[in-house]
Amino acid sequence: MGERVFAVLGVFAGPDALLDAASKLEGRGVGKLEAYTPYPVHGLGEALALRRSPLAGMVMVMGTLGTAAAFLFQWWMNAYDYPIVVGGKPLASWQAFVPIMFEVTVLFSAFTAWLGAVFLLCRLPGLWHPMLSSSSMPKLTRDRFALSIESQGRDFDAEATREALRDAGALETEVVRFPPAPKPASLTLLLGLAGAGALACVVAGLATYWTIKVFPTLPPMSRMLQQPRLGAQRSSSVFAGSAGFAPVAEGTVARGRLPYPFKTPEEAAVLGNPLPRTKAVLAEGKRRFDTVCRVCHGPLADGKGTLTKAYGASPADLRTRRYQAFPDGSVYHAIMSGKNAMPSFAKALTEDERWSIIHYLRALQRAADAKDSDLP
């Protein structure tokens, strides 16, 4: 029994007796008061003069931080790092950021409240506490209420404290000491739990790996494969001779499939722009240029698009002398066949759209070094 005293415990019959004793002893400097009850007792916080928990302030700070972080992150991504127009809205549209800001605020607040309460303020997981060695503990989880006065140093007088508790109406009192040696059981338990967790991770990882190895063709979504359609070599009742695919009729060309015979920009130079240079054509050209060419060649066709470095090639500056003198047909060829890092846009654009882009490109070139006489 030579161990250090942790606290003196007084057991009371009911919550009223406990509240009464707490308000009697509070502020008399007997030591740090703490209460143990089987259920929450109203008014105990006031009776013990507990300080307000700092949790609310922590949540406020972290919640605000969440709002700010979500806003800055979205702004940086959408308006700065990877600017892509979505739905025709301005790049930095705060309206679109609000839902995420709201959610991140809630997330940060909830995590702070939970983690802060559990780990910081309640100091869990604490698998051991000196009070657990008290013989009154089983009663305290059932129908008894206790007040403890914790020792705060050498000059703690256990006997006088017992007396004070008895005076305050305690049915019985007990001196709680630190147990002989802190139990290492909690450490073993924690290590065991951590080990089991690590093992579970490894097993789950390996299982996933082997599942994918052994069943590599688990079809994720095969509904598109199983629709009624005509296979390449199947017969059909639509065409004569039960052929699945009928040959193209002799001497005809499918709509929009005129062959494109040219191999080089020089050969294509013989082509002339068939469209008139009207406002409507220029407007259409601008619309198509902005949709298709602008990302790479830039809004002014000066080769300064919004591509990131990952693209590797540098799109041509189409405003230079060289391209001002480039024949229409050769530009048409660039659109049809592409060049090196520029892919072909034959599929993406109709013939009229290609020619209208060329009209618009000419306008951009002229605007590059416009003269006063160009002004209307």
Partner 1 sequence: MTLRVLAIVGALGCADSLIIDPARFWANWLVWTLMLVSAGLGSLFLVSLEHLTGARWSIPLRRTAERVASLLIPGSLAMLAALIGIPVLFPWAQPGWPEDPLQAGKTAWLNVPFFTARAAACAALWIGSWKVLAGGSLELDRTRDPRLHLRLQRFSPFFIAVFALTVTVTAFDWVSSLSPEWYSDVLGVYLFAGVFLSGLSAVSLAAVSLKKEGRLQGVRFDHLYNLGGFLFAFVVFWSYIAFAQYMLMWYAHMPEEIFWYKDRVEGAWGAATLGLALVHFVIPFFALVTRGSKGDPRRLAWVSGLVLVSHYADLCWLVFPSLGLAPRFSWPEAAAGLLFVSVGLLWVRRATAQGDDLPVGDPALEEGLAFRL
**Interatomic CA distance for residues 171 and 143, integer angstroms:** 13
**Interatomic CA distance for residues 148 and 286, integer angstroms:** 82
Q: Which of residues 208-267 bind ligand HEC (CB under 6 A)?
A: 265
Residue among 64 and 291 whose Cβ is closer to ligand HEC: 291
The reply on whether position 335 binds ligand HEC by CB under 6 A is yes
**Interacting residue with partner 1 among 29, 39, 84, 95 (CB under 8 A):** 95
The reply on whether position 227 binds partner 1 by CB under 8 A is no
The reply on whether position 346 binds ligand HEC by CB under 6 A is no
Residues in the chain, overall count: 376
**Interacting residue with ligand HEC among 340, 369, 371, 373 (CB under 6 A):** 340
The reply on whether position 345 binds ligand HEC by CB under 6 A is yes
From the list partner 1, ligand HEC, none, which binds 88 (C-beta under 5 to 8 Å, kind-based)?
partner 1
* Interface with ligand HEC: number of residues (CB under 6 A): 20
Query: Among the candidate windows 159-167, 194-202, 225-233, 289-297, which touches ligand HEC by CB under 6 A?
Result: 289-297
Residue among 117 and 292 whose Cβ is closer to ligand HEC: 292
Query: Among the candidate windows 71-79, 94-102, 179-187, 334-342, which touches partner 1 by CB under 8 A?
Result: 94-102
**Interacting residue with ligand HEC among 292, 336, 346, 368 (CB under 6 A):** 292
The reply on whether position 279 binds partner 1 by CB under 8 A is no
Query: Are 25 and 74 in contact, with CB atoms under 8 Å apart?
Result: no
The reply on whether position 331 binds ligand HEC by CB under 6 A is yes
From the list partner 1, ligand HEC, none, which binds 56 (C-beta under 5 to 8 Å, kind-based)?
partner 1
The reply on whether position 64 binds partner 1 by CB under 8 A is no
**Interatomic CA distance for residues 316 and 303, integer angstroms:** 5
**Interacting residue with ligand HEC among 8, 19, 334, 364 (CB under 6 A):** 334
**Interacting residue with ligand HEC among 297, 319, 359, 362 (CB under 6 A):** 297
The reply on whether position 110 binds partner 1 by CB under 8 A is no
The reply on whether position 99 binds partner 1 by CB under 8 A is yes
Q: Which residues of this chain interact with partner 1, rule CB under 8 A?
A: 42-43, 52, 56, 60, 87-89, 95-96, 98-99
Q: Which residues of this chain interact with ligand HEC, rule CB under 6 A?
A: 265, 292-293, 295-297, 313, 315-316, 318, 331, 334-335, 339-342, 345, 357, 361
